Amino acid sequence: MATRLQYENNCEIGVFSKLTNAYCLVAIGGSENFYSTFEAELADVIPVVKTSIAGTRIIGRMCAGNKKGLLLPHNTTDQELQHLRNSLPDSVVVQRIEERLSALGNCISCNDHVALTHPDLDKETEELIADVLGVEVFRQTVAGNILVGSYCTFSNIGGLVHPHTSIEDLDELSTLLQVPLVAGTVNRGSDVIAAGLTVNDWTAFCGSDTTATELSVIESVFKLREAKPSALVDEMRKSLIDTYV
Amino acid sequence: MPRKPKKHSHSLRHRLVTFSPFARSKAMATRNRGATKVIEKPKLQNKDLATSSFNGFKNNGKDKTQQSGSSASSDDEEFEGDVQADFVFFDPKPSDFHGVKVLLQTYLDNLQWDLSGFVDLILGQPTVGTVVKIENDEDDAVYSVVSALNLGRYKDSKCVLELKDYLLKVCRDMDVKGKLKSLVGEHVQDVGLLVSQRVVNLPPQLLPPLYNGLFDEVEWATEDEPTEELQSSFRFKFYLIISKIYKHKSADQNGGTVKNGEETLIYNRPEDEIFFMLSSWSFSFPSHAQQVTANELKNYRPMGLVMVVEASKISSFRKQLHSLIDE
């Protein structure tokens, strides 16, 4: 089920939160309402951790992660790093990386199996991503935008990309990612998908300006209406056919 | 971004806040040029707007070209120098949603309220209200918005109810509270909420045409609106204005006066000073929203200010604004 919410009158909730199948990060400083909406949905299944990154609240755009790991930019403080290591499950590898492009959330978009990255990312970073997150890495652009982390969001089930993505690009990305993709918008026509939406395999959160049409597209491509926690979905994946379009 | 108290600079150099890639590239390409033009697009076919005179409206064209030579060198130490910009006034339309919403983020301080609904009310009123953009801007960014909303017409919408509750809640002044209650209670049909927000560095030369345009539109609406009900909804008797000021921290203790010759009150927007002088009553309240405070403002506390101005005083306001900006 998709939930609509706001962070201090701001509908860009993908900026202030990061949701994966194993944990959820939420920015400090917002009202308790923001935090408790996540808690209400996720408390029994995965930990919801309040944090800042590099002293900022824009944590969703600063870090990149999936159920296997979390990558943090070089300007993350030691206390923040320690706090995250303590709060996240042991199965999650928390790693701070030395990368010039420090807004990792804008540069990397990933699920538990594949990652799309900014074309200018360092080679070492690419290897670290493959290592820490346990994914196959592809350097890509989305609708001509190099900030792939901002303009597309995908889970293990489906994905939403920038509205101006061409059909050929959509096919190509879908083949790379092995999930069905749809070009659409969030937050009443905003094309910065990842800023307005954060999603995992069984639930999604989007800004409260998102229209009913956008919400139904999200619920259908991410298959949220009949959703279950990811352990079951993982089992199903092995028996699925090779290519989705 | 650091805020400085407005200085009346006679050279009238105005640097745009370049927060969009288009504006930045314009700034890079047009260093050292100083004229800003105001173009008013014909908004009502049947009204005779002097668009031709606005096309030639160059801000002190001659003075600026003479001064731009000397001012260019002093501008080099600032980050971008003068920018050539053609501002255009448009009627609000639904596609302006995001731009207008950004401008209204801190309208009611840090309250969580139905801001989207409020923006929809403004955009749903194309006959009264103006949105300022730059000509041929690929980002289509909104630089300023003004509108006048009849509180009685929208009294049942969630955002207006929340706005009224908020105003009644923050009003600590007991004598004023009674007046406020009656204004938003029985007299609500006569009250126009004057909404006016803009980017920090918008050239003040735009203010007289912007406000003139708004008050003219209100007048035309009293004749042009399709139904009698709508026409009378624009016959405002009062304008309610919510804005922000800075009050000197020691102002309350010293009985309203401040030593060192510092100002008691600093107005964020020049027209607020005129409105305040013309207002029938007003109250201020401490502001809680996070703000970046410049060094010069460290002795000042950010406050919200609510004022009520009688509609009959508006012509005086227009004259005073004109003379204030033109000096």
pLDDT category of residue B157 using cuts at 50, 70 and 90? very high
Q: Which of residues 16-45 of A touch B (CB under 8 A)?
A: 31, 33
What confidence score (pLDDT) does residue B139 get? 83
What confidence score (pLDDT) does residue B44 get? 38
Query: Of B100, B106, B112, which to mutate for an interface test with A (greatest number of A Cβ within 10 Å)?
Result: B112
Separation between Cα atoms, residue B174 and residue B205, nearest integer Å: 38
Q: Which of A243, A225, A19 is nearest to A110 (CA)?
A: A19
> Helix, strand, coil shares of chain A as percentages rounded to 5?
35, 25, 45
Average the pLDDT over A135-146 and give the result.
Answer: 94
- pTM beyond 0.90: the answer is no
**Tokens of residue B318, six digits:** 């227009």
ipTM, 2 dp: 0.79
pLDDT category of residue A233 using cuts at 50, 70 and 90? low
What confidence score (pLDDT) does residue B133 get? 94
What confidence score (pLDDT) does residue A109 get? 96
* DSSP H or E run through A6: none
Distance of residue A77 Cα from the nearest chain B Cα, in angstroms: 23
For B119-131, b/e burial (b = at least 16 CB within 10 A) is bbbbbebbbbbbb
Residues in chain A with CB shorter than 8 Å from the CB of B110 are 8-9
What confidence score (pLDDT) does residue B58 get? 34
What confidence score (pLDDT) does residue A132 get? 96
> What distances in angstroms separate CA B111 from CA B49, B115, B154, B162, one per listed residue?
40, 10, 20, 9
Length of chain B, in residues: 327
**Is residue A104 predicted with pLDDT exceeding 90?**
yes
Top mean pLDDT of A229-243, B15-29, B86-100 is at B86-100
Per-residue pLDDT tens for A153-210? Answer: 999 999 999 999 999 999 999 999 999 999 999 999 999 999 999 999 999 999 999 9
**Is residue B56 predicted with pLDDT exceeding 60?**
no
Per-residue pLDDT tens for B277-306? Answer: 999 999 989 888 766 667 777 788 888 999
Q: Which of B5-19, B157-171, B262-276 has the lowest mean pLDDT?
A: B5-19
Closest-CA residue of B relative to A29 is B290
Q: What is the mean pLDDT of chain B?
A: 77
Residues in chain A with CB shorter than 8 Å from the CB of B115 are 9
What confidence score (pLDDT) does residue B319 get? 92
**Is residue B260 predicted with pLDDT exceeding 80?**
no
**Tokens of residue B19, six digits:** 């927060």
Residue bearing the bigger pLDDT, B138 or B256 = B138
Query: Of A9, A11, A34, which to mutate for an interface test with B (greatest number of B Cβ within 10 Å)?
Result: A9
B123 near B206, Cβ under 8 Å?
A: no
What confidence score (pLDDT) does residue B38 get? 46
Length of chain A, in residues: 245
CB distance from A89 to chain B under 8 Å?
no
